[in-house]
């Protein structure tokens, strides 16, 4: 087991190494399938060491189809003032993904993933994530953990889909996944917040709450007026899941996945995303948080069980307070209020089910039951019945996230036009649809619409969802079930 207090003497040296890796990687034009991307893989391999490490470079046909996903010929990337916003993908080399594995003392494993691709400089996006994974590998190769650890250096989205579709890696023993994406941004120069992504509620794990609690703890420094409480020295945010990186792929595979991130970043996808915009303080905050969170998530220790049980209860109460405030201020309807409360309740109970039963867990389950019932009674809420007793759910007939290439290859022109118009009307339409598909095997469509709107802080898309699910069912992407 690792203890943060034991890191004090050598942590600065680790952070210096991460910074150096970012500097070196940011000088490599890491375009997917290019010779320089291969140089980046070689750089990673040459900077990891330890007797317990095994590594493998997986090669995939870059012209192949993986769950319907095909690597495009070019990618729209640049956000600066240049006229040409895209870059070309070389077509002669295979798509490569580097996998590194460290065996732990227990049966379960955790997954780290970071995309190594993107044109130079790309210091924060995403040389920073790859660089941090290098030193996490080096650390855990010398400090064996309870969990086995698998590290994936990938081409964002496409490499991840290819890896999981071809390796057939079983999810059964993967406890959770942490995606490292832009973990070095200097808040003074990038105008970003430090982000922990919530795990979507179709996948249940508690590492997101642990990371969020620990990052708040480690972000505090000094004391107010030298005598008061420690002062928060970073802008921090716990965000609803919206995808946006490789945890989007792993969540769609049923692997509970979170993402650590600095966002927004004014240098994102520009030539100014350079090493001088990287903060060693940010790197240290993320590194310490990861180590501390992994120790706190091991369920073999009573103190950890009490700790996780308590932060689940705290999260339940905070979310309820927020929803009640919105309802009392007319921001959400009675139906929305009822659905969101039920969802928070179900999710919190599911989170507690991941903690082995003991006195504190049982007490907190009882408290959640009592407090939920009290809110329902106080506001005289009843479960909405929009389907006259017949409830409909949808089950995926495809693997991974929905491939638009595969979708459009099977649809008639009228259906294609509907999806194109939906995308033009809402640039996040397909992101919302992917989330809706994952939720629709648990919730009815009207509930899915409410939850998706809640996640994305957006207007209802129920009419589009109903038509989308009808089309997807008609053409075999989904199977409709009634109860």
Closest Cα partner for 307 from 352, 366, 371?
A: 352
Is 409 in the same domain as 316? no
Is 60 in the same domain as 11? yes
Burial of 336 (0-12, 13-18, 19+ CB in 10 A): buried
In this predicted structure, what is the pLDDT of residue 196? 98
Contact by Cβ (8 Å): 248, 157: yes
- Is 476 a member of any domain? yes
Q: Pick from 5-14, 104-113, 123-132 the range whose average pLDDT is largest.
A: 123-132
Taken in order 457, 460, 464, 467, the sign of the CA dihedral is positive
- Is 383 a member of any domain? no
Length of the chain: 483
- Write the pLDDT tens digit of every residue in 123-165: 999 999 999 999 999 999 999 999 999 999 999 999 999 999 9
Is 163 in the same domain as 53? yes
- Write the pLDDT tens digit of every residue in 424-452: 999 889 989 999 999 999 899 999 999 99
Contact by Cβ (8 Å): 241, 455: yes
The residue whose two tokens read 């320089």 is: 36
Report how far residue 290's alpha carbon sits from residue 285's, in angstroms, rounded to the nearest whole number: 9
Is 140 in the same domain as 165? yes
Share of residues in the chain with pLDDT > 70 (%): 96
- Is 384 a member of any domain? no
Give yes or no for residue 225 having a pLDDT over 70.
Answer: no
Torsion, Cα 231 234 238 241, to 10 degrees, reads -170
Contact by Cβ (8 Å): 178, 214: no
The three-class DSSP label of residue 107 is coil
Residues paired with residue 262 on neighbouring β-strands, in sequence order: 194
Task: Kindly report the number of other CB atoms within 10 A of residue 310's CB atom.
Answer: 14
The CA-to-CA distance between both ends of the chain, in Å, stands at 47
In this predicted structure, what is the pLDDT of residue 20? 98
The total of structural domains in the chain comes to 3
End-of-domain residue from the set 348, 378, 408: 378
- Write the pLDDT tens digit of every residue in 290-335: 999 999 988 778 899 999 999 999 999 999 999 999 999 999 999 9
In this predicted structure, what is the pLDDT of residue 1? 47
Q: What are 451's two structure tokens?
A: 């939850």
Least-confidence region, from 3-17, 242-256, 290-304, 444-458: 3-17
Least-confidence region, from 115-124, 206-215, 387-396: 387-396
Give yes or no for residue 253 having a pLDDT over 60.
Answer: yes
DSSP structure string for 324-366: HHHHHTTSS-HHHHHHHHHHHHHHHHHHHHTSPP-HHHHHHHH
Is 260 in the same domain as 331? no
Closest Cα partner for 401 from 434, 360, 355?
A: 434
Enumerate residues 6+ apart whose C-beta is below 8 A from 191.
Answer: 264, 265, 266
End-of-domain residue from the set 262, 296, 330: 296
Q: Angle of helix 35-46 relative to helix 11-25, nearest 10 degrees?
A: 160
In this predicted structure, what is the pLDDT of residue 383? 64
In this predicted structure, what is the pLDDT of residue 3? 52
pLDDT band at 4 (very low <50, low <70, confident <90, very high): low
- pTM here is 0.95
Taken in order 173, 176, 181, 187, the sign of the CA dihedral is negative
Q: What are 416's two structure tokens?
A: 């294609």
In this predicted structure, what is the pLDDT of residue 52? 86
Is 448 in the same domain as 475? yes
Per DSSP, 403 falls in state P
End-of-domain residue from the set 296, 322, 345: 296
In this predicted structure, what is the pLDDT of residue 192? 95
- Write the pLDDT tens digit of every residue in 366-381: 999 999 999 999 999 9
Closest Cα partner for 279 from 192, 186, 183?
A: 186
| Rounded mean pLDDT, 251-271 | 95
In this predicted structure, what is the pLDDT of residue 232? 84
Give yes or no for residue 185 having a pLDDT over 80.
Answer: yes
Closest Cα partner for 395 from 472, 470, 313, 481?
A: 481
- Is 433 a member of any domain? yes
C-alpha of 163 from chain center: 17
Report how far residue 369's alpha carbon sits from residue 140's, in angstroms, rounded to the nearest whole number: 40
In this predicted structure, what is the pLDDT of residue 384? 58
| Rounded mean pLDDT, 339-354 | 95
Closest Cα partner for 69 from 138, 155, 197?
A: 155
Is 413 in the same domain as 352? no
In this predicted structure, what is the pLDDT of residue 378? 96
The residue whose two tokens read 């495809």 is: 398
Report how far residue 234's alpha carbon sits from residue 187's, in angstroms, rounded to the nearest whole number: 8
The residue whose two tokens read 């895209």 is: 86
Is 231 in the same domain as 183? yes
Is 210 in the same domain as 315? no
Is 322 in the same domain as 260? no
Is 210 in the same domain as 196? yes
Is 397 in the same domain as 329? no
- What is the pLDDT of the chain when averaged over all its residues? 93
Closest Cα partner for 262 from 244, 232, 245, 282?
A: 282
- Is 386 a member of any domain? no
The three-class DSSP label of residue 216 is helix
- Is 257 a member of any domain? yes
- Is 385 a member of any domain? no
Report how far residue 133's alpha carbon sits from residue 139's, in angstroms, rounded to the nearest whole number: 10
- Write the pLDDT tens digit of every residue in 70-85: 999 999 999 988 989 9
Contact by Cβ (8 Å): 370, 348: no
Taken in order 245, 246, 250, 255, the sign of the CA dihedral is negative
| Rounded mean pLDDT, 395-418 | 95
Closest Cα partner for 116 from 102, 107, 128?
A: 128
Give yes or no for residue 257 having a pLDDT over 80.
Answer: yes
Give yes or no for residue 226 having a pLDDT over 80.
Answer: no
Domain limits at 313?
302-378
pLDDT band at 7 (very low <50, low <70, confident <90, very high): confident
Torsion, Cα 250 252 253 256, to 10 degrees, reads 60
């Amino acid at each position: 087991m690792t203890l943060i207090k034991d890191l004090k003497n050598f942590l600065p040296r680790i952070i210096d190494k991460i910074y150096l890796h970012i500097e070196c990687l940011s000088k490599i034009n890491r375009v997917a399938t290019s010779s320089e991307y291969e140089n980046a893989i070689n750089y990673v391999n040459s900077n990891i060491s330890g007797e317990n490490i095994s590594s493998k470079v997986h090669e995939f046909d870059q012209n192949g189809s993986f769950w319907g996903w095909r690597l495009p010929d070019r990618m729209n990337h640049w956000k600066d003032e240049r006229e040409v916003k895209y870059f070309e993908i070389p077509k002669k080399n295979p798509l490569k993904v580097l996998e590194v594995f460290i065996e732990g003392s227990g049966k379960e494993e955790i997954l780290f993933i970071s995309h190594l691709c993107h044109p130079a400089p790309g210091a924060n996006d995403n040389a920073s994530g790859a660089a941090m994974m290098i030193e996490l590998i080096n650390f855990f190769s010398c400090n064996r953990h309870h969990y086995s650890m698998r590290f994936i250096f990938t081409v964002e989205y496409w490499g991840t889909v290819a890896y999981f579709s071809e390796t057939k890696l079983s999810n059964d023993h993967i406890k959770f996944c942490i995606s490292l994406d832009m973990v070095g941004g200097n808040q003074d120069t990038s105008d970003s917040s430090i982000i922990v992504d919530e795990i979507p509620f179709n996948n249940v794990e508690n590492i997101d709450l642990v990371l969020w609690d620990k990052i708040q703890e480690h972000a505090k420094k000094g004391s107010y007026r030298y005598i008061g409480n420690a002062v928060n020295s970073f802008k921090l945010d716990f965000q609803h899941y919206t995808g946006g990186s490789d945890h989007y792929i792993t969540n769609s595979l049923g692997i509970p996945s979170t993402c650590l991130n600095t966002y927004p970043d004014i240098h994102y996808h520009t030539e100014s995303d350079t090493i001088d915009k990287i903060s060693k303080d940010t790197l240290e905050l993320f590194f310490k948080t990861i180590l501390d969170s992994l120790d706190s998530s091991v369920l073999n220790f009573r103190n950890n069980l009490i700790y996780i049980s308590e932060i689940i209860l705290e999260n339940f109460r905070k979310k309820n307070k927020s929803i009640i405030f919105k309802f009392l201020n007319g921001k959400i309807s009675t139906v929305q209020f009822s659905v969101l409360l039920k969802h928070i309740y179900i999710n919190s109970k599911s989170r507690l089910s991941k903690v082995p039963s003991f006195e504190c867990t049982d007490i907190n389950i009882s408290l959640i039951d009592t407090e939920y019932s009290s809110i329902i009674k106080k506001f005289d809420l009843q479960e909405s019945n929009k389907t006259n007793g017949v409830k409909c759910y949808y089950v995926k007939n495809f693997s991974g996230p929905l491939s638009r290439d595969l979708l459009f290859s099977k649809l008639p022109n009228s259906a294609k036009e509907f999806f194109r118009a939906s995308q033009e009307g809402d640039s996040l339409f397909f992101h919302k649809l992917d989330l809706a598909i994952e939720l629709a095997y648990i919730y009815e469509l009207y509930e899915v619409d409410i939850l998706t709107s809640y996640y994305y802080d957006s207007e209802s898309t129920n009419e589009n969802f109903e038509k989308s699910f009808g089309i997807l069912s008609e053409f075999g992407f989904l199977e409709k079930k009634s109860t």
